[in-house]
Amino acid sequence: MIDTTLDWQERYALGIPAVDDAHLKLIRMINHLVICIVEGTDRASISASLGDILSATSAHFALEEKIMRDSHYDRYFEHKADHDRLLDQLRDMMDDYGVHGRLEPAQLVRVLDEWFSEHIRSHDARLHRLVELPGSPAA
């Protein structure tokens, strides 16, 4: 039984479907990676999975940052700095895994859970409360 996956419902939902859906996809990818590590999946697949998470996360952040720039959002730099912090952590984990083949699921989950819990409930909640998503009615 795996008890180290990220629990979506309670911790990350903002109640805005398009935003929750984007975050849910990232959380699912991370949980898939955790299961692969725990099950002893081969190293190439785990590296590929980490790469997929980094790309999907970067793409999600780039979209949010575009929304912030387009709307002249007042806390753009603070929000982007927090995105960059997580991307740096993910890159460090990838590098460490590439060099040492080491990735501790409990540590991965702890880092990501702390980051997602804090970031979504503070930065993303504020952004999406103040700025309407392109193509969506106000939440």
85, 52 contact by CB (below 8 A): no
Question: Least separation, in Å, of the C-beta of 5 and Fe ion?
Answer: 19
**From 33, 36, 53, 64, residue interacting with Fe ion (rule: CB under 5 A):** 64
Is the alpha carbon torsion for 4, 6, 10, 11 positive or negative?
positive
Q: Which stretch binds Fe ion (CB under 5 A): 4-12, 59-67, 69-77, 101-109?
A: 59-67
Stretch that binds Fe ion, among 9-17, 29-37, 45-53, 117-125 (CB under 5 A): 117-125
Q: Using the rule CB under 5 A, which residue among 16, 124, 128, 133 binds Fe ion?
A: 124
The residue (of 14 and 94) whose beta carbon lies closer to Fe ion is: 14
CA dihedral 56, 58, 62, 65 (to 10 degrees): 120
SS3 7: coil
Cα 52 vs. chain centroid, distance in angstroms?
11
Least distance CB 89 / Fe ion (angstroms): 15
Report how many residues bind Fe ion under the rule CB under 5 A: 3
Contact 115, 86 (CB under 8 A): yes
> Does 20 interact with Fe ion (rule: CB under 5 A)?
no
Kindly state the smallest distance separating residue 64's Cβ from Fe ion, in Å: 5
CA dihedral 3, 5, 83, 104 (to 10 degrees): 60
- Measured from the CB atom, the residue of 40 and 135 that comes closer to Fe ion is 135
Cα–Cα distance for residue pair 38/12, rounded to 1 Å: 23
Applying CB under 5 A, the residues found at the interface with Fe ion are 64, 123-124
